[in-house]
Structure 1
Amino acid sequence: MSSRPAPWSAFTTPQFWDDPHISQRMLAAHLDPEGPAASRPHAFIDRSVDWLIPALGLSSGSRLLDLGCGPGLYANRIASRGIEVVGVDASRRSISHARSGAESGSFPARFVVGDYLSASLGDGYDAVILIFEDYCALSPRQRSVLLNRVGAALSPGGRFLFDVTAAPRFETFSEEPRPPRNSWTGSGRRSPMWVPAPLGATPLNGSSWSGTRSGRRTVPDGSGTGRIV
């Protein structure tokens, strides 16, 4: 490659995450309870679920759509509260794990392999979530597609919750690899990923929770909290 490609000039995300080798490593990273490479630490996820269910006004019998659900770390925790969940993810390996978790726990969750920018999502949801800063990786055009698709999937008054990288977060990033522990393999070799350090302890520390309701949306504005538009 003799030149740097233009931003968003190619989109290979579905194929990338479904690659047999990458999806195997990603699932291992997702399931590492303390690793931040693919999901947030599991104790953080527990606290996030405790927070987001009342924040979204959900209760037993509500319907939620989890976009980019991975192996169901959020979806199955939410479904264990009696909330009906549909999860969508491009990785067949992650979806298989999510389905196994839902089946073993008898949770009201259904998981679909697909790209959430083009797959059938259904409608009538009380809430939609997109977690682990997926929104930031999308091009402006893809963000528009996503927001329109989410709007069509939500019931009137439904809510869309997603997290984004706010400007202050970049002060916590380092381009030095972390050598003590490789969250992909458990070895002491240098990690093959660049990872931020440290991660915050609450949803508003390290990344900003954002959302939409009744046609309004929160966007990052450099303050770390975002603004309503």
Structure 2
Amino acid sequence: MPGDTAYHDALGDRFAAHAETSPYNAFTDRPAMLALAGDVAGARVLDVGCGAGHYAAELLARGAEVTGVDGSAALLRHARARVGGRAALRLHDLEEPLDFAEDAAFDGAVCALVYHHVTRRARLLAELRRVLRPGGWLLVSTSHPAADWRHFGGSYYSEDWVELPLGGGPHAIRLRRMPLETFLGELLDAGFVLERLVEPRPVAALREVDPAAYDKLTRFPAFLAVRLRRP
């Protein structure tokens, strides 16, 4: 089922390990999104699809008050081990309303490489707008449509569900392709204001760890990341 996108059981364990050191997660997406977040000291932040807690740990270290949600019990187990009791972590299906949160409960929200796994994206965005205070910020990163087109072929404008092998192993992650106009159009239609768009490049440290990956990621885009504001 396309909507069944949580990283359950062995896939969750595999992804938790992968995200720890992956050139894509640890050296490209995460640094870019944290740079977009800026100063979060004292901010109430919702980590949407918190995964194994890598973002939660970074946000906590920067002084944020973090609530994290994820649909995978396996990933939440890793997240709890990483952040202990320093963040409020809960099992929650992102296809359902964020009924645990009151209106305007958060100053900001981070949705890192999760959006392309969600089926009911319009509802999720409406819920995020509801739980963010006026003037609150939303960060979203997703697979770059040019990267998907290059990898999967077919039409650039395709919005079908595809499977991407995870780290060359036996597991694959399911995601929905979308062109840039769909990605940005949905965010703007939900009432958010675009403040910045970046196409993340890897940080320089990757050059020492994995020169081949550094060379590839500085030439071919992997992700899009945006910072939006709730009016």
The TM-score normalised by the length of structure 2 is: 0.64
| Structure index of larger Rg | 1
User: Match of 1:84?
Assistant: 65
Q: Is the 8 A contact 2:138 2:228 kept in 1?
A: yes
User: Match of 1:130?
Assistant: 111
Q: Please report the RMSD computed on the Cα atoms of aligned residues, expressed in angstroms.
A: 3.3
Aligned length: 177
- Give the secondary-structure state (helix, strand or coil) at the position aligned to 1:66: strand
CA deviation profile, 1:153-185 (whole Å, cap 9, x unmatched)? 10111111112334333354268xxxxxx84xx
Q: Is the 8 A contact 1:125 1:155 kept in 2?
A: yes
User: Match of 1:116?
Assistant: 94
Give the structure with the higher percent strand.
2
Amino acid at match of 2:59: I
By how many angstroms is 1:23 displaced? 2.5
The separation in 2 between residues aligned to 1:144 and 1:46, in whole angstroms, is: 24
CA deviation profile, 1:27-80 (whole Å, cap 9, x unmatched)? 33233x1354xxx1x2335523540232xxx43211110111101111111111
The separation in 2 between residues aligned to 1:72 and 1:49, in whole angstroms, is: 14
Q: Is the 8 A contact 1:159 1:211 kept in 2?
A: yes
The TM-score normalised by the length of structure 1 is: 0.64
The higher-RCO structure (CA 8 Å, 6+ apart) is 2
Task: List runs of 5+ in structure 2 lacking aligned partners.
Answer: 154-165, 174-199, 204-216
Q: 1:28 aligns with which of 17, 29, 33?
A: 17
CA deviation profile, 1:92-119 (whole Å, cap 9, x unmatched)? 121122122212xx7x422111112325
Give the structure with the higher percent helix.
2
Q: Is the 8 A contact 1:121 1:153 kept in 2?
A: no
User: Match of 2:130?
Assistant: 152
- Within 5 Å, give how 1:1-229 maps onto structure 2: 10-14=2-6, 17-18=7-8, 20-31=9-20, 33-34=21-22, 36=24, 40=25, 42-44=26-28, 47-48=31-32, 50-54=34-38, 58-103=39-84, 108-118=86-96, 119-123=98-102, 124-132=105-113, 134-139=114-119, 142-170=120-148, 172-173=150-151, 183=167, 191-192=169-170, 200-201=201-202, 205-215=221-231
Amino acid at match of 1:161: L
The separation in 2 between residues aligned to 1:85 and 1:152, in whole angstroms, is: 17
- Give the secondary-structure state (helix, strand or coil) at the position aligned to 1:24: helix
Task: List runs of 5+ in structure 1 lacking aligned partners.
Answer: 1-8, 176-181, 184-189, 216-229
CA deviation profile, 1:116-174 (whole Å, cap 9, x unmatched)? 23253414211111111x222333xx111011100111011111111233433335426
